[in-house]
Amino acid sequence: MYNKEMETARLAALEAGRIIKGFYGNLEEIRKKGKRDLVTEADLLSEKAVVSAITKAFPDDMIIAEEGGEQGKISDRKWVIDPLDGTTNFAHSFPFFAVSIGFMVSDEVVAGVVYNPVMDEFFEAEKGKGAFLNKKSINVSATANIRDALVATGFPYDIDKKSDEIIGRLKRIIVEAQGLRRPGAASIDLCYVANGRLDGFWEQDLKPWDTAAGSIILTEAGGEISDFSGKGFNPWLKSILATNSHIHNDMLRLMGI
């Protein structure tokens, strides 16, 4: 149904990944958008390439991109783009970052791609068609208990303003789970729950471009995604809990809302 959209997103993510890889370990300038929030020439050139590919293919669609904000006409068809998710990792040559492109129709995410150019891992999904990693079908894990679960989280850039709440939640989960990671790119964290490398992931204050693409990849792989109170997903939620579905209720309890 969205063949042209998927193909456009695929090619745009591959091109953006090629651009990002060219700067990897080789950055001339790193600017700060906030105390911890970085932006590099790779973020900007990646976004330029993705936006131009999408605008060329779908000139009437709306674009919401991290660096340039809302662009184009107001439309029911929206592209939600993180040109480089995991910029802190990227700036430190830590090979865990991605290009993330989600596509929405009538406020529902219907397609998404997430591409990690260093590992050459390409995750993709279209509504009703399953989720794939490098063209192979993927599914969430069967882990049924938190004590057997490997879970991940992330922290907002302004963590200093709400560290008690965040550390409180982290402590409740860390003592129950088998293991915990903080990989550093929310879009890939969601994909790792989708292919069973992780059993769950939570984070607060994410932005639509962090979660749009990953959300459809996760749900098409059989996962569940909500906010910390169990409310159904939309990319503008203030908090995100994504799991293999089996541990969702237990994780919700530990979110402590």
Q: Which residues bind ligand IPD (CB under 6 A)?
A: 82, 85-88, 154-156, 184-186, 203, 206, 210
Listed residue (178, 195, 187) closest to 140, CA to CA = 195
Residue 69 contacts by C-beta under 8 Å, 6 or more apart in sequence?
Answer: none
Q: Among Ca ion, ligand IPD, none, what binds residue 151 when CB lies within 5 to 8 Å by partner kind?
A: none
Among the residue ranges 73-81, 82-90, 152-160, 164-172, the one whose residues contact Ca ion (CB under 5 A): 82-90
List the beta strands (DSSP E) in the chain: 30-32, 38-40, 62-65, 69-71, 77-85, 98-105, 108-116, 121-126, 131-133, 136-138, 150-153, 179-181, 200-204, 224-226, 239-243
Helices within 175-207 (DSSP H only): 186-194
Q: Give residue number: closest CB to ligand IPD.
A: 154
Instruction: Please give the residues from 88 up to 107 whose contact with Ca ion meets the rule CB under 5 A.
Output: none
Instruction: Report the C-alpha gap between 185 and 213 in whole angstroms.
Output: 13
Q: Give residue number: closest CB to Ca ion.
A: 85
Residue type, 152: A
State the minimum distance, in angstroms, from the CB of residue 156 to ligand IPD. 5
Cβ-based nearer residue to ligand IPD, 105 or 159: 159
Q: Could you say whether residue 189 binds Ca ion (CB under 5 A)?
A: no
Cβ-based nearer residue to Ca ion, 37 or 107: 37
Cβ-based nearer residue to Ca ion, 44 or 174: 44
Answer for the pair 106, 89: CB distance below 8 angstroms, yes or no. no
Q: Could you say whether residue 205 binds Ca ion (CB under 5 A)?
A: no
- Main-chain phi, psi angles of 136, to 5 degrees: -100, 135
Q: Among ligand IPD, Ca ion, none, what binds residue 155 when CB lies within 5 to 8 Å by partner kind?
A: ligand IPD
* List of residues contacting Ca ion (CB under 5 A): 66, 82, 84-85, 210
